[in-house]
């Protein structure tokens, strides 16, 4: 019976050995598509991180290789991760191994040249990007060139504080160049948009003295700086020679951008309006996140970075709570747009956060998810802040315009209208064409006030202003010339048919019901129109002529339009 169990164990061991059969050589051709080393390479972790490639090759001490599976992750803090694969490249082709992630501490590729000596190439954060074998965002190594035999390659990786989960891919020269050109174009568009948003937001902050725009500019700047570090663009183009900063920027800048983002949301939502303790809690979260980032910069351990990740997740939760609170309060008409703007960033930030917490392997979403969310967020938030700023400045704008506009409707008053009309009539005479003047009376204003009150009457006047502005072009003028009278100047050249059509649109627009008025109430417009110049009449007498006509029109008249001279 014992021999039977021994036999079964031997058989299971044999099956396991077969299942762990090491991958064979990779044959690359000119038509081979980009190829992943998953299931095509083997790995081994050196717990001491001191073994040389000669020792690894000689297996002294014995090295137990295991196949690299799909989407693997490796905790190699204080260790060295070795990969081995065999590849045969076409003699006329150029092939490259790319580690598709920025922020790798150190990567070395070894293979023996035709003379039997080791060829060693190195890249990673421990080396300036300009000194890499192939400078770029990702560590990339060229495979042996012009060899007809199969070459064995050894890749050594050092990476701390986050599991190594970087995809390893083989590219030919054409596909690699195409991939990099596409990435550079998209990243250039992203950072160009961010720079434009920052400049315009700063301009709005200075011109309108709007602190929300200033906070938004700081937030976009911090978010972009975090992406510069996370995507490897900063190490490639900005701080290439700052090796120590390059090592810590990937951990510092994203955390700082999260704190600045929370501060920006606090500025927008103003939690102190609801509770002094809530505002204090937000400040405490910002301080805790920045303290965690500072502590992680000093300690540089896996545990300290995990604390930063936890506080970042908590900050995202606070962002959603603040926006939801203002939404529920219902006192900010722009909060829905602001919430819509933050939604892509909050959702997409979950992917790099999950990667930082070693929950998922590296992928396109972990690398570019936050950038995609930011591209969707920036214009939405900018529009929402512009809308909110316009609403808040409306009282100031109207107060500044009081000397030259009607206080209730914001329309041009009578005196500027007469000056504009004099000029239009003079041009019409000298250039042998016509202009038109329409005087519009809100015939049922008195009945609206009597039945629904003065506030409803003011709403009717404001609604009438909006309707009249929509029936004329930008070059025409709408003015208020009486308690319930308006004037429309159709600056020339104007025809009789155009004046008649404009008068018809005015009457028709008033007959549509509006939510601004009590149920069932519509506006009844009476219109008197004339083509000018008309004989010896000047601007003042022409206006008076049409005002008298609409004043004499009966309230229940069926003929709402009077064409005076056409």
Which pLDDT tens digit goes with each residue over 212-268?
999 999 999 999 999 999 999 999 999 998 988 988 999 999 999 999 999 999 999
pTM for this prediction: 0.76
Is the residue at 539 inside a domain?
yes
Average pLDDT over residues 510-524: 88
Is 418 found in the same domain as 372? no
Give the domain CATH number at 105.
Answer: 2.60.40.2380
Is 125 found in the same domain as 239? no
Is 427 found in the same domain as 492? yes
pLDDT at residue number 215 = 95
The answer to whether 461 and 408 are in contact (CB under 8 A) is yes
Is 250 found in the same domain as 171? no
The answer to whether 367 and 403 are in contact (CB under 8 A) is no
pLDDT at residue number 145 = 85
Biggest CA pair distance of the chain: 129
Is 293 found in the same domain as 357? yes
Tokens 């050249």 correspond to 493
Task: Kindly tell me if the per-residue pLDDT of 5 is higher than 70.
Answer: no
- Coil, strand, or helix at residue 506? helix
Is the residue at 6 inside a domain?
no
pLDDT at residue number 30 = 76
Average pLDDT over residues 106-126: 95
Which residues is 441 bridged to in the sheet? 485, 526
Is the residue at 292 inside a domain?
yes
Indicate the average pLDDT of the chain: 89
Is 509 found in the same domain as 387? no
Strand order through the sheet with 561-563: 477-480, 485-490, 435-442, 525-532, 561-563
Is the residue at 188 inside a domain?
no
Range of the domain at 153: 25-175
pLDDT at residue number 3 = 44
Is 477 found in the same domain as 425? yes
Radius of gyration of the chain (CA): 37
Q: Residue 558: how many CB atoms within 10 A of its CB?
A: 5
The answer to whether 560 and 452 are in contact (CB under 8 A) is no
Is 162 found in the same domain as 276? no
Give the domain CATH number at 465.
Answer: 3.30.70.270
Domain boundary among 351, 374, 399: 399
Is the residue at 280 inside a domain?
yes
Tell me how many domains the chain contains.
3
Is 94 found in the same domain as 71? yes
Task: Kindly tell me if the per-residue pLDDT of 15 is higher than 50.
Answer: no
pLDDT higher at 408 or 68: 68
The answer to whether 305 and 251 are in contact (CB under 8 A) is yes
Is 555 found in the same domain as 485? yes
User: Under 8 Å CB-to-CB from 217, ≥6 apart: which residues?
Assistant: 197, 198, 201, 202, 205
Distance CA(470)–CA(456), nearest Å, equals: 21
Which pLDDT tens digit goes with each residue over 75-102?
999 999 999 999 998 887 789 999 999 9
Which pLDDT tens digit goes with each residue over 146-190?
787 899 999 999 999 999 999 999 999 999 999 999 999 999 999
Is the residue at 12 inside a domain?
no
User: Under 8 Å CB-to-CB from 329, ≥6 apart: which residues?
Assistant: 274
Is 230 found in the same domain as 81? no
What is the band of 23 on the pLDDT scale with cuts at 50, 70, 90? confident
Is the residue at 10 inside a domain?
no
The answer to whether 140 and 133 are in contact (CB under 8 A) is yes
Which pLDDT tens digit goes with each residue over 397-445?
555 555 567 778 888 888 899 999 999 999 999 998 999 999 999 999 9
Helix, strand, coil abundance in the chain, percent, nearest 5: 55, 15, 30
Is the residue at 246 inside a domain?
yes
Domain boundary among 149, 175, 201: 175
Percent of the chain with pLDDT over 70: 94
Domain boundary among 154, 175, 196: 175
Is 442 found in the same domain as 501? yes
């Amino acid at each position: 019976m014992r021999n039977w169990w021994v036999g079964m164990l031997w058989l299971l061991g044999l099956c396991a050995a077969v299942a762990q059969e090491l991958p064979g050589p990779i044959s690359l051709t000119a038509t081979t598509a980009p190829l992943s080393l998953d299931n095509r390479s083997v790995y081994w972790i050196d717990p001491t991180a001191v073994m040389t490639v000669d020792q690894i090759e000689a297996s002294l001490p014995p090295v137990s290789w295991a196949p690299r599976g799909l989407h693997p992750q490796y905790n190699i803090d204080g260790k060295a991760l070795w990969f081995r694969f065999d590849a045969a490249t076409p003699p006329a082709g150029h092939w490259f191994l790319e580690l598709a992630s920025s922020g790798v501490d150190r990567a070395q590729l070894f293979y023996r040249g035709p003379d039997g000596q080791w060829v060693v190439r190195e890249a990673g954060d421990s080396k300036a990007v300009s000194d890499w074998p192939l400078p770029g965002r990702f560590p990339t190594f060229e495979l042996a060139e012009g060899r007809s035999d199969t070459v064995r390659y050894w890749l050594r990786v050092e990476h701390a504080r986050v599991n190594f989960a970087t995809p390893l891919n083989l590219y030919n020269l054409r596909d690699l160049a195409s991939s990099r050109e596409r990435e550079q174009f998209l990243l250039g568009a992203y950072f160009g948009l961010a720079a434009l948003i920052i400049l315009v937001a700063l301009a709005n902050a200075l011109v309108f003295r709007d602190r929300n725009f200033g906070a938004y500019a700081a937030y976009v700047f911090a978010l972009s700086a975090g992406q510069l570090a996370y995507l490897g663009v900063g190490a490639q183009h900005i701080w290439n020679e700052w090796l120590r900063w390059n090592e810590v920027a990937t951990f510092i800048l994203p955390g700082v951008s999260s704190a600045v983002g929370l501060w920006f949301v606090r500025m927008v939502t103003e939690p102190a309006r609801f509770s002094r303790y809530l505002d204090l809690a937000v400040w405490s979260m910002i301080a805790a996140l920045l303290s965690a980032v500072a502590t992680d910069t000093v300690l540089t351990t896996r545990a300290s970075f995990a604390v930063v990740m936890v506080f970042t997740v908590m900050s995202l939760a606070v962002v959603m709570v603040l926006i939801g609170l203002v939404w529920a309060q219902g006192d900010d008409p722009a909060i829905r747009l602001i919430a819509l703007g933050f939604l892509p960033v909050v959702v997409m930030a979950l992917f790099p956060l999950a990667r930082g917490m070693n929950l998922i392997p590296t992928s396109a979403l972990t690398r570019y998810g936050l950038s995609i969310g930011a591209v969707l967020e920036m214009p939405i938030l900018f529009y929402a802040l512009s809308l909110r700023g316009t609403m808040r400045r409306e009282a100031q704008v109207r107060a500044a315009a009081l000397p030259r506009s009607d206080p209730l409707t914001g329309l041009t008053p009578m005196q500027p209208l007469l000056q504009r009309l004099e000029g239009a009539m003079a041009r019409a005479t000298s250039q042998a064409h016509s202009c038109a003047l329409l005087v519009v009376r809100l015939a049922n204003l008195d009945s609206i006030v009597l039945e629904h009150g003065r506030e409803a009457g003011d709403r009717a006047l404001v609604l009438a202003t909006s309707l009249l502005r929509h029936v004329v072009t930008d070059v025409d003028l709408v003015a208020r010339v009486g308690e319930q009278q308006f004037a429309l100047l159709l600056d020339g050249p104007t025809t009789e048919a155009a004046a008649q059509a404009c008068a018809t649109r005015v009457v028709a627009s008033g007959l549509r019901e509006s939510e601004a008025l009590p149920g069932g109430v519509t506006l009844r417009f009476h219109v008197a129109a004339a083509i000018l110049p008309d004989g010896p009449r000047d601007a003042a007498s022409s206006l008076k002529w049409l005002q008298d006509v609409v004043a004499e029109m009966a309230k229940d008249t069926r003929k709402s339009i009077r064409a005076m001279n056409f």
